[in-house]
């Protein structure tokens, strides 16, 4: 493999059919991403780690963690997953798959919802999305703690982070910094 192939296709060269399958799978997930792309992380993990074997659990979790720690949009983790699977071609497949359907649907729904915001069904739909989003975020947290689930420090950090977010109005960067310090000190992993 030459340098250009390494940049374009990453560590493993996927064929056009596999890249197309990845794009289609991320398109499906995009439509299901109520509450943002992060809520579909469990299914992404199941597919790219469990079914396809393109990444390990640790590589998947590291991809999400790296992207979430970096400044930028929340969706950045999808690009990192694509990069780690197939380089720039993987980034293109995952990002096109993630952005095109959800953006189109969001634009159409927002226009329709604005025109019909007074209807009871629209208000009920908006109210019903909150518990669904919270459930999806909890499932995401469960998947991301898998590599460290046997460590007592993981449970303690989760409880502290949730409590911090529920009872303070401070920046969420504080629990992230605490988790980074605990990890850097070697208490986990």
pLDDT, tens digit, for every residue of 79-94? 999 999 998 999 999 9
Helices (H), the chain: 3-9, 16-32, 41-45, 57-69, 76-115, 120-144, 152-167, 173-184
Determine what percent of the chain is predicted with pLDDT higher than 70. Answer: 92
Torsion of CA 180, 183, 188, 189, to 10 degrees: 110
- d(C-alpha 90, C-alpha 77), whole Å: 12
The pTM (predicted TM-score) of the whole model is: 0.61
Q: ∠ CA(94), CA(3), CA(15), 5° rounding?
A: 40
Q: Which own/partner contact pairs does 137-143 have at CB distance under 8 Å and 24+ positions apart?
A: 137/35, 137/38, 137/39, 139/39, 139/41, 139/42, 140/38, 140/39, 140/41, 140/42, 142/42, 143/41, 143/42, 143/45
pLDDT at residue 182, as a whole number: 77
Query: Given a cut of 70, is residue 137 above it in pLDDT?
Result: yes
Higher confidence at residue 3 or residue 30? Answer: 30
Which residue from 159, 31, 153 is spatially nearest to 104, judged by alpha carbons? 31
Query: Given a cut of 90, is residue 126 above it in pLDDT?
Result: no
pLDDT at residue 189, as a whole number: 54
pLDDT at residue 170, as a whole number: 84
């Amino acid at each position: 493999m030459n340098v250009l192939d390494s940049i374009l296709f990453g560590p493993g060269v996927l064929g056009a059919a596999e890249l197309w399958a990845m794009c289609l799978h991320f398109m499906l997930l995009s439509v299901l991403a109520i509450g943002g792309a992060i809520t579909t992380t469990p299914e992404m993990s199941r597919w790219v780690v469990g079914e396809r074997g393109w990444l390990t659990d640790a590589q998947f979790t590291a991809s999400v963690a790296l992207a979430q720690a970096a400044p930028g949009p929340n969706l950045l983790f999808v690009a990192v997953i694509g990069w780690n699977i197939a380089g720039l071609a993987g980034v293109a497949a995952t990002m096109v798959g993630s952005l095109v359907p959800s953006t189109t649907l969001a634009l159409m729904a927002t226009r329709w919802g604005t025109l019909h915001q007074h209807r009871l069904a629209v208000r009920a739909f908006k109210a019903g999305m909150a518990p669904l989003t919270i459930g999806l975020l909890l499932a995401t947290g469960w998947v991301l703690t898998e590599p460290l689930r046997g460590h007592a420090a993981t449970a303690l950090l989760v409880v502290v982070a949730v409590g911090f977010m529920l009872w303070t109005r401070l920046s969420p960067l504080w629990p992230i910094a605490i988790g980074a310090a605990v990890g850097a000190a070697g208490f986990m992993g």
